[in-house]
Structure 1
């Protein structure tokens, strides 16, 4: 098992399948309430982040994005997140929604479909051997 060290943003521990966006994403207008990526510029356009560990470099855009993340959490759709650099919008949404989030991680080490454990209590991301 490979372990990546990062920074604690939102506490909790979750395991799941990673889905990767190589580009920053705005949750307001970029992800709908069912967890489908609606940003036509993003490589995940049309794909669902529901019940996955969403790995992306950073967020972008409106502060309302925090409430979109919170809404996804309340509906049980967003399990966990990993960022290269969490900015306040994503961090606030994760904390409000009690979604484990770790940043300062080399996200290039994580591949689409990897099973990962996001540990927001220790600031680590573990990639399980497949």
Structure 2
């Protein structure tokens, strides 16, 4: 299945789909040393985002969140790719700095994506391919 959206950060990333039903704050919400979600009360708390195709509505919180995404990439714990319902500046800048492929506006509710299925995000063409 191929879904078309808008490319935000160039590159191609592949991994298992991980759906976050709530916005994510990378500042104080994700440990940049481990890639584990630590935000109290978040549905993904305790989940490692490393190597996943991380889909969530949008980012929230401080602009320092961009640097956390960059640190995750530098430390080898970034998601393989990011999908947002609507990209906003904090996540888009972090994805670009960290060289994490990113797309948005895929026209499908993120919660309807099949969690755990292998997926590939192509930030160059704005496409999401779901395998199997």
TM-score by length of 2: 0.93
1:95 partner SS = helix
Q: In the TM superposition, what is the alpha-carbon distance from 1:76 to its structure 2 partner?
A: 2.1
Q: Among residues 107, 117, 121, which one is paired with 1:118 in the alignment?
A: 121
- 2:19/2:111 contact within 8 Å kept: no
1:46 partner SS = coil
Alpha-carbon separation, structure 1, partners of 2:87 and 2:2: 19
Q: In the TM superposition, what is the alpha-carbon distance from 1:108 to its structure 2 partner?
A: 3.0
- 1:104 corresponds in structure 2 to 105
TM-score by length of 1: 0.94
Q: Does 1:23 align with 2:22?
A: yes
Map of 1:65-80 to 2, 5 A cutoff?
65-78=65-78, 79-80=80-81
Q: In the TM superposition, what is the alpha-carbon distance from 1:55 to its structure 2 partner?
A: 0.9
- 1:39 corresponds in structure 2 to 39
Alpha-carbon separation, structure 1, partners of 2:115 and 2:85: 16
2:2 partner SS = strand
Q: Which runs of 4+ in 1 moved over 3 A?
A: none
Q: In the TM superposition, what is the alpha-carbon distance from 1:101 to its structure 2 partner?
A: 0.2
Q: In the TM superposition, what is the alpha-carbon distance from 1:114 to its structure 2 partner?
A: 1.2
User: Where does structure 1 lack aligned partners over 5 or more consecutive residues?
Assistant: none
Alpha-carbon separation, structure 1, partners of 2:116 and 2:75: 23
User: Where does structure 2 lack aligned partners over 5 or more consecutive residues?
Assistant: none
Aligned residues: 128
- 2:52 corresponds in structure 1 to 52
